[in-house]
Amino acid sequence: MPPDNRIAVCPGSYDPVTNGHLDVISRACAMFDHVIVAVVNLPMRKGGTLFTAAERVGFIERATAHLGNVAVEPFSVLTVQFARARGAKAIVRGLRAISDFEYELELNQLNRGQAPDIESVYLMASAKYSFIRSSGVKELATFGGQIDGLVPAEVAQALKERISR
């Protein structure tokens, strides 16, 4: 990447944002001049979301407020189209396990076919977050499990309130 264009996009549904997501975002901030957390409006592979795009954007904005080079935006187009429109040359994704790798390999090949000029950058999950999945957090919350430490406090409270309805 040329030094004058160190913009990366971190796409995801973030439903909800987890401490694992925040770890990848903060590590990407150390690697890139500007990181855009791209929140999918309507994820295709996961069906509906528990939180609206605006709620998810707000959670991430507040959780990353201490990072000076992060912007958070919703999007409803191909990730590579969003990245190109923002001048990004990299898409940053986190990897937890081999099952993530298989999905990400396929996604990378599709993205490369659409935008060979945009690189995919994969960050291995930190050991303490390698087991955290948004869907797992929602399942724990549904059945009264302990979610503190897995998500920001604001998200834990919102999850408990939303699921109790």
Reported pTM? 0.92
CATH code, residues 7-128:
3.40.50.620
Lowest mean pLDDT among 65-69, 105-109, 154-158: 105-109
Q: What is the mean pLDDT of residues 82-97?
A: 95
7 φ/ψ angles, rounded to the nearest 5 degrees: -110, 135
Give the residue among 126, 108, 128, 127 at the shortest CA–CA distance from 118: 108
Per-residue pLDDT of 16-64, as tens digits, reads 999 999 999 999 999 999 999 999 997 666 568 999 999 999 999 999 9
| 152 token code pair | 């920001």
Q: Which DSSP state fits 151?
A: B
Partner residues linked to 40 by β-bridges:
75
